[in-house]
């Protein structure tokens, strides 16, 4: 039985994490199937139905231009999820490369790379993003790249720490004495065993990236109108919060539930992947 099977078994036992995973999967399905699921075009303006409260026709109401909030949120989930995944993908790629090099080769390379990490960590990320987006044209791609490029340091540190312990482990030494070169040792023996904490960090990272994207869109620096994003719906909502509560409540809840679900999945993964518990699991 593979380790992943054991991990899955242990993950399932954690009900909250399992619930989180169900929500995450549902959100992914919604995002992928948005055109089929959404009852209206997300950008279709209907000036006869401006700011109408939730009804059978518009379950989550309409916004100031009469656009269906539910449809906009369904399309908005595409933005949130893709920003989350792509940004975290960029972050963990950079983090794994830098962390692996530093941890495996050590010495001067390690010192240089880790000082670079320290420098990156002194920069207040959110303001760096604001600066970059002020210079470059804001788009979903800029956001993804900026979040990714400013978010890899924790992953690099995690991977480096894993490499430092793993490269002294007997099975890695045994691989070397079997004649394995550096590349084989890194990719076959160290990296696969170093990834568990990276998965956990990545899951939390997706939650963080979704929040950052919402915040940027809320400030008008993220996804540009008329394209919908949870953050930008929320911005409209704040102007009408006294008359149209649904404009703020539903996207706010969506962000809350999504971020909470990812965090629950992350915690469940962390427990399920805990190597200290591997050995106790019988065949």
Partner 1 sequence: MAVEADLPKSVSKVGEELAEPIIEARGLKKHFPVKRGPMARTEWLRAVDGLDFSLGRDTVFALVGESGCGKSTVARLLLKLLEPTSGEMLFRGRDIAPLRGDALKAYRRAVQIIFQDPFASLNPRRNVLDTLSEPMKIHGLAEPSQYEIRVLELLSKVGMGDVLGRYPHEFSGGQRQRICIARALAVSPEVIVADEPLSALDVSIQAQILNLLQDLRSESGISFIFISHDLRVVEYFSDEVAVMYLGKIIEQAPSVELFKEPRHPYTEVLLASSPGLEPGAKKRAVLGGEVPSPIHIPSGCPFHPRCPKKFSPCDKVVPRLQATSGRPVACHLWNPY
| Residues binding partner 1 (CB under 8 A) | 1-3, 6, 169-180, 184, 188-189, 192-193, 275, 278-279, 281, 283
Closest to partner 1 by CB, 135 or 183: 183
Closest to partner 1 by CB, 126 or 278: 278
Closest to partner 1 by CB, 172 or 200: 172
Closest to partner 1 by CB, 51 or 175: 175
The SS3 of residue 152 is coil
The SS3 of residue 62 is strand
Q: CB 188 → partner 1: shortest distance, Å?
A: 8
Query: What span, in angstroms and rounded, lies between the C-alpha atoms of 225 and 65?
Result: 12
CB of 113 within 8 A of CB of 58? no
Quick check: bond before 170 cis, omega within 30? no
- The phi and psi torsions of 62 (rounded to 5 degrees) equal -125, 165
Q: CB 280 → partner 1: shortest distance, Å?
A: 9
Q: CB 171 → partner 1: shortest distance, Å?
A: 5
Question: Tokens 């987006």 sit at which residue?
Answer: 133
Closest to partner 1 by CB, 137 or 181: 181
Burial class (CB in 10 A: 0-12, 13-18, 19+), 65: middle
Q: CB 157 → partner 1: shortest distance, Å?
A: 21
Q: CB 267 → partner 1: shortest distance, Å?
A: 22
CB of 20 within 8 A of CB of 261? yes
Q: CB 201 → partner 1: shortest distance, Å?
A: 19
Residue 33 per-residue DSSP state: T
CB of 193 within 8 A of CB of 166? yes
Closest to partner 1 by CB, 143 or 166: 166
């Amino acid at each position: 039985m593979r380790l992943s099977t054991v991990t899955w078994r242990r993950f399932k036992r954690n009900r909250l994490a399992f619930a989180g995973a169900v929500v995450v999967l549902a959100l992914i399905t919604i995002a992928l199937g948005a055109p089929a699921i959404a009852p209206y075009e997300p950008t279709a303006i209907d000036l006869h139905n401006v700011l109408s409260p939730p009804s059978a026709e518009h379950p989550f109401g309409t916004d100031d231009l009469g656009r269906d909030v539910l449809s906009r949120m369904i399309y908005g989930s595409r933005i949130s999820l893709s920003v989350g995944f792509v940004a975290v993908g960029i972050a963990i790629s950079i983090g794994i490369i830098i962390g692996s090099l530093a941890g495996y080769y050590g010495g001067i390379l390690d010192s240089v790379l880790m000082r670079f990490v320290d420098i990156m960590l002194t920069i207040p990320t959110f303001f760096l993003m604001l600066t970059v987006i002020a210079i470059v044209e804001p788009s979903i791609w800029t956001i993804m790249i900026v979040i990714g490029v400013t978010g890899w340091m924790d992953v690099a540190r995690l991977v480096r720490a894993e490499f430092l312990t793993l490269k002294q482990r007997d099975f890695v030494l045994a691989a070397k004495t079997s004649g394995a070169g550096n590349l084989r040792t890194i990719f076959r023996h160290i990296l696969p065993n170093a990834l568990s904490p990276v998965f956990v960090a990545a899951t939390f990272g997706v939650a963080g990236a979704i929040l950052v994207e919402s915040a940027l869109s809320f400030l008008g620096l993220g996804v540009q109108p008329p394209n919908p994003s949870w953050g930008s719906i929320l911005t409209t909502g704040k102007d009408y919060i006294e008359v149209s509560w649904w404009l703020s409540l539903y996207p706010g809840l969506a962000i809350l539930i999504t971020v909470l679900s990812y965090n629950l999945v992350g915690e469940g993964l962390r427990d399920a992947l805990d190597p200290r518990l591997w050995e106790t699991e019988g065949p």
